[in-house]
Amino acid sequence: MPELPEVETYRRFIDELVVGQTIVAFEVKDAHVLATSEDLLRHAVVGSRVTGTRRLGKNCFLELSTGQVLVLHFGMTGDVGAYRDEHDAPRFTRVALHLDTGLRVAFVDPRKFGRIRLAESVEAYQKAKKIGPDALNITTEQLKAKLSHRKTLIKPLLLDQSITAGLGNWIVDEVLFQAKIHPERIANTLTDAEFEALHEAIQLVLTTAIKHEATYRHFPASFLIHAREWDDSATPGSDKHQFCPRHPDTGIDKNYVGGRATYTCPVCQPAAQ
DNA sequence: GCAAATGTTAGTCG
DNA sequence: TCGACTAACATTTG
């Protein structure tokens, strides 16, 4: 789940629950998700107050009263939850922050690709990890500057967090569909008009997804996402929602681009020459 | 039982 | 050293 809109939704959830609160315990149920040592994390976090939250791409930050930040990355299957009693802890809770109010905030991650770490600041982390501008803030000019000299496929470039941060697999498919650009187009063949369309589509898809709190089935019917098999309303193998929203007679193609499942409309997104 | 999965990154090869 | 590509990570779900 966690691409930019999900992470923004998690951030808002965390912001409401923990800003102003003091963390009284740092409970580790599975140290696999820790990218900073447990001792160091506990030392930084316990007794600190959370002064604010931030987000950059798919990373969520809790700003601590010590000046440091706790960085949450949710991997492929990360989520957040809140509970009060141990027996209500969500399944796959890996780490829990215990607040002075008695509430516990859970970092939930079945597949354990997510990570929790400590950083000196959001900016330091961004620099160290070479994370590009957030996809909601990048301008058409910046996008063009980073892509127009590249000789490789556009889709893997859009997934590269150092170019712009926050776009994941389904969002890139949706963006390319909305911008009517084939995912295997070579980046340096895009026209100015296509860069404009790309930028506009990024804004459209992200703001729409955040507005619906990343609940896919509430997205407009004009979105390609309804063709993805993991949409609740489309069972694998069925032909429900398998057609282009703009061309009811045209089936959506599924392919692999850069090793990732990729959905396209053959009419809207003509193949690269 | 088998296939697929929303992300990242280390390693390899030119 | 950089760019491009692939495999691997760990586990659940359909």
Tens of pLDDT, residue by residue over A138-150, are 999 999 999 998 9
Q: Report yes or no: A121 and A56 within 8 Å, Cβ to Cβ.
A: no
**Residue whose CA is minimally distant from B6 C1':** A1
Q: In what order do the strands lie in the sheet with A93-99?
A: A23-28, A93-99, A104-108, A79-83
Of A179, A135, A155, nearest to A3 by C-alpha is A135
Q: Where are the domains of chain A?
A: 4-128, 140-264
Q: In 3-state terms, chain A is what percent helix, strand and coil (to 5)?
A: 35, 25, 45
Mean pLDDT of the A148-163 span: 92
Contact assessment for residue A148 and residue A199, using Cβ atoms and an 8 Å cutoff:
no
Percent of chain A with pLDDT strictly greater than 90: 71
- Give the gyration radius of chain A's Cα atoms: 20
What pLDDT does residue A273 have?
57
Q: What is the mean pLDDT of residues A109-127?
A: 93
Collapsed DSSP state (helix, strand, coil) of residue A26 = strand
Highest CATH level, class, for A140-264: mainly alpha
pLDDT tens for A186-234 read 999 999 999 999 999 999 999 999 998 878 778 888 898 887 754 444 3
Q: Do domains A4-128 and A140-264 have the same CATH topology?
A: no
CA-to-C1' distance for A148 and C3, Å? Answer: 15
Share of chain A above pLDDT 70, in %: 94
Q: Are A107 and A96 in contact (CB under 8 A)?
A: yes
What residues of A are labeled active site? 2-3, 58, 260
On the question of pLDDT at A123 being above 90, the answer is yes
Q: How high is the mean pLDDT of chain A? A: 89
Averaged over A228-241, what is the pLDDT? Answer: 44
The CATH fold assigned to A4-128 is N-terminal domain of MutM-like DNA repair proteins (3.20.190)
Instruction: Give the per-residue pLDDT at A175.
Output: 95
**pLDDT score of A233:** 40
Q: Nearest nt to A216, CA vs C1'?
A: B6
A246-251 mean pLDDT: 83
